């Protein structure tokens, strides 16, 4: 089970450092005790016969990490909520999750009234105490000392485990049970849930242990929120190695360099945009990070020039480009950068590489038949990391999960990534773009249809299209521009609605009013013509 990677280490080395957060370190035994107390308390309040899922609404703190481990130990899947998202989007995730219970920390409790007011039915809400071993029932809108909350049964749910390394789960579990559910941008106008089982996640962690190996005294850093799947790598690969996870107070890239040096970080994982921001502010000076041993980049194209700058700053570090959608559990392919590869001509962006152990990659044509070597097609992903499907059985995206046997390939279930790719001898899989309108901004996945749905519904526009703009030579999108025709209300009204319902990275930078939208020969909106309009219309920045 996924949490076993933590609790097994806690049993072996309870005094070892497990977590550095909120300016102090916690041992494996301390975190295990808190998590076991939460698991016991949570098990006593879970409603019978309901989905074994629990929402986690918390900032990154010891309470959040103990809460996450406690949820797993109680036999539940954790559903992390990003406190930085708009209240409407948080409420949408809560509603779609089907989770009957929510754990919330004190900082997020202040946001409850706005979130819960948007729900038809609220889950049972409990407070995560800073000590990690007390759970209180909360009632939004009570006006008590804790903003928007009411304490209940404060003493009745206390319990510490008999031993700090106690690992028995509160409920019997199986590998196919859900471990966590993450919500991504959905093409239908609402976020869609991706349930990942313990089997999926454990296959990923085991593969990473073989790929990266172990390092005594390793120090991993976590830069992303718990609602993004790289956090799973940071936590459980770290704890499986008996290492310590370091969590900075802020994820602003300008502070990363000082954090790496102050804490002698050995393992780094981020989207390339974070490193590019550091480079922009001259934080990648030669030999700046001698402590780094392993660097993982993923989530967007990795430019060659950025890799070279990073290697000069971290000369002792391996650099790997990781690839994989949330549906295939964090990453399913990797390419390790070598000096020989960088010395070769024509490599502006790093390849996706080859499948991780146990996984399979296959490039197919529109009929789902394998293409000839070197030809471009859609990338299929197979293996034990592939999810069973989306949380909603009627989600149209479930058509992307297919069952098919291919000669020489062991998987029988595949995920259609909608990524165009081709295989290049010596380099593995090379990314060639998207076959749909999904894009990424700073590593965040965005379905343009979801943004268009919000723009259209808030403006009653006759026609609407959203494009990524600007896009640099490496394929990085910096933002979005929305085009509408015959809209009700002005651009300010549309942008306000977007800010209310979309993550900040998915809000268009501007709205352009046109009399009509250009169409291609198939009668569809011509997005290339709209991009050209951005150039000729003077929107180059």
Say which CATH number the domain at 480 has: 3.30.300.30
386 within domain boundaries: no
Query: Residue 198 in 3-state DSSP?
Result: helix
In this predicted structure, what is the pLDDT of residue 135?
A: 58
Task: Please tell me whether residues 119 and 247 are part of one structural domain.
Answer: no
Asked if residue 128 and residue 32 are part of one domain, the reply reads yes
Q: What is the pLDDT of residue 383?
A: 96
Three-class DSSP category at 493: helix
Phi-psi region of 408 (alpha: psi -120 to 50; beta: other; left: phi over 0): left
Q: Same domain for 218 and 272?
A: yes
Could you list the residue range(s) of the whole structural domain that residue 511 is in?
441-536
Find the largest Cα–Cα distance for the chain: 71
CB 141: neighbour CB atoms within 10 A? Answer: 12
Predicted local distance difference test score (pLDDT) of residue 144 = 37
Cβ atoms of 34 and 131 closer than 8 Å: yes
Q: What is the pLDDT of residue 367?
A: 94
Residue listed under structure tokens 């390394």: 165
Whether residue 296 contacts residue 353, with contact meaning beta carbons closer than 8 Å, is answered with no
Contact of 74 with 120, CB cutoff 8 Å:
no
pLDDT value of residue 82: 94
Per-10-residue mean pLDDT of the chain, 541 residues long, equals 96 96 95 93 79 92 95 95 93 93 91 90 85 59 40 34 39 87 79 95 95 91 94 97 95 89 96 89 94 95 91 97 96 94 83 94 95 94 96 90 93 94 90 83 84 85 83 79 86 90 91 84 76 71 42
Q: Are 219 and 244 in contact (CB under 8 A)?
A: yes
Residue 132 lies in a domain: yes
Neighbouring CB atoms inside 10 A of 44's CB total: 14
Do 30 and 166 belong together in one domain? Answer: yes
* Residue 172 exposed, middle or buried by CB count within 10 Å (0-12, 13-18, 19+): exposed
What is the C-alpha to C-alpha distance for residues 314 and 139, in angstroms, rounded to an integer?
50
The pair of structure tokens assigned to 63 is 């309470």
d(CA 194, CA 375): 31
Residue 145 confidence (pLDDT): 34
Domain boundary among 294, 323, 352: 323
Residue 349: both structure tokens together: 């962006």
* Dist CA 108 CA 116 (whole Å): 12
Asked whether residue 382 is assigned to any structural domain, the reply reads no
Q: CA 234, 236, 237, 240 torsion: positive or negative?
A: positive
**In contact, 91 and 45? CB cutoff 8 Å:** no
Pairing of strands 244-246, 17-21: parallel
Domain-embedded: residue 61: yes
- Asked if residues 301 and 273 have their Cβ atoms less than 8 Å apart, the reply is no
Distances in Å between the Cα of 336 and the Cα atoms of 280, 351, 395, 464 are 24, 9, 36, 41
Within 10 angstroms of residue 282's Cβ, the number of other Cβ atoms is: 9
pLDDT of residue 522: 61
Does residue 502 share a domain with residue 453? yes
> Based on the domain organization, do 161 and 110 belong to the same domain?
yes
CA–CA distance, 293 with 406 (Å, rounded to integer): 38
Do the domain assignments include residue 363? no
Nearest to 51 by CA among 113, 1, 119, 101: 101
Please give the torsion angle defined by the CA atoms of residues 497, 499, 505 and 507, in that order, rounded to the nearest 10 degrees.
30
| Domain count within the chain | 3
Asked whether 187 and 447 are in contact (CB, 8 A), the reply is yes
Query: Rounded to two decimals, what is the model's pTM?
Result: 0.84
Q: What is the dihedral of CA 138, 141, 143, 149, to 10 degrees?
A: 20
Domain boundary among 323, 348, 371: 323
Residue 360 CB neighbour total at 10 angstroms: 18
**Claim to verify: residue 89 and residue 165 sit in the same structural domain:** yes
Same domain, 126 and 249: no
Residue 66: per-residue pLDDT: 95
Orientation angle between helical segments 4-12 and 28-45, nearest 10 degrees = 130
Does 364 fall in a domain?
A: no
The whole-angstrom separation of Cα 167 and Cα 529 is 59
Cβ(417)–Cβ(380) under 8 Å?
Answer: yes
- Same domain for 162 and 33: yes
Q: What is the pLDDT of residue 122?
A: 87
274 and 220 share a domain? yes
Look at residue 375 in the predicted model and tell me its pLDDT: 93
Residues 6+ apart with CB under 8 A from 239: 5, 6, 9, 18, 28, 245
**Is 158 found in the same domain as 218?**
no
Instruction: State the number of CA atoms in the 13 A half-sphere of 87 facing the CB.
Output: 12
Q: Indicate whether 401 belongs to any domain.
A: no
218 and 168 belong to one structural domain = no
Tokens of 282: 């001259």
- The domain boundary, picked from 154, 173, 192, lies at 173
Q: Is residue 501 part of a domain?
A: yes
Q: Find the CATH number of the domain harbouring 65.
A: 3.40.50.980
């Amino acid at each position: 089970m996924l949490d076993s990677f933590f609790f097994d280490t806690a049993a072996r080395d309870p005094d070892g450092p497990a977590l550095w957060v909120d300016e102090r370190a916690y041992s494996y035994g301390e975190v295990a005790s808190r998590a076991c107390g939460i698991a016991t308390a949570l098990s006593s309040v879970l409603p019978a016969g309901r989905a074994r899922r629990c929402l986690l609404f918390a900032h990154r703190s010891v309470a959040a990490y103990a809460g996450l481990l406690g949820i797993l130990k109680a036999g539940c899947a954790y559903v992390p909520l990003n406190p930085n998202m708009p209240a409407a989007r948080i409420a949408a995730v809560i509603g779609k999750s089907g989770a009957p219970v929510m754990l919330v920390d004190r900082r997020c409790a202040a946001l409850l009234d706005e979130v819960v007011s948007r729900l038809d039915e609220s889950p049972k809400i409990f407070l995560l105490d800073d000590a990690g071993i007390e759970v209180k029932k909360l009632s939004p809108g009570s006006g008590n000392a804790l903003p928007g909350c009411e304490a209940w049964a404060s003493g009745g749910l206390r319990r510490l485990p008999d031993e700090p390394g106690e690992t028995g789960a509160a409920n019997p579990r199986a590998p196919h049970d859900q471990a966590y559910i993450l919500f991504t941008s959905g093409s239908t106008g609402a976020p869609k849930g991706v349930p990942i089982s313990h089997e999926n996640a454990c296959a990923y962690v085991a593969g990473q242990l073989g790929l990266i190996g172990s390092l005594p005294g390793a120090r991993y850093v976590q830069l992303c929120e718990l609602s993004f799947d790289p956090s799973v790598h940071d936590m459980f690969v770290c704890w499986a190695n008996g290492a310590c996870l370091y969590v900075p107070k802020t994820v602003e890239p300008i502070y990363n360099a000082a954090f790496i040096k102050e804490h002698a970080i050995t393992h780094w994982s981020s989207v390339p945009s974070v490193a590019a921001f550091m480079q922009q502010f001259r934080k990648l000076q030669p030999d700046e990070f001698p402590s780094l041993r392993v660097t993982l980049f993923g989530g967007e194209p990795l430019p060659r020039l950025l890799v070279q700058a990073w290697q000069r700053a971290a000369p002792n570090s391996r650099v790997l480009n990781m690839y994989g959608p949330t549906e295939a559990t964090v990453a399913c392919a990797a390419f390790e950068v070598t000096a020989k590869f960088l010395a070769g001509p024509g490599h502006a962006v790093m390849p996706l590489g080859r499948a991780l152990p146990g996984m399979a990659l296959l490039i197919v044509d529109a009929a789902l038949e394998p293409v000839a070597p070197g030809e471009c097609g859609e990338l299929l992903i197979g293996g034990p990391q592939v999810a069973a499907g989306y949380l909603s059985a009627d989600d149209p995206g479930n058509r992307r999960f297919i069952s098919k046997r291919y000669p020489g390939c062991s998987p029988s279930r595949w995920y259609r990534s909608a990524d165009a790719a081709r295989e290049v001898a010596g380099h593995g899989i090379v990314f060639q773009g998207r076959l749909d309108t999904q894009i990424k901004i700073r590593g965040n996945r965005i379905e343009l249809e979801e943004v268009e749905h919000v723009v259209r519904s808030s403006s009653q526009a006759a026609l609407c299209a959203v494009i990524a703009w600007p896009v640099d030579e490496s394929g990085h999108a910096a933002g979005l521009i929305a085009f509408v025709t015959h809209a009700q209300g002005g651009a300010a009204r549309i942008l306000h609605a977007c800010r209310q319902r979309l993550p900040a990275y998915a809000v268009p930078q501007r709205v352009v009013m046109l009399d009509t939208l250009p169409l291609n020969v198939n009668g569809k909106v011509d997005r290339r013509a709209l991009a050209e309009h951005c150039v000729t219309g003077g929107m180059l920045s």
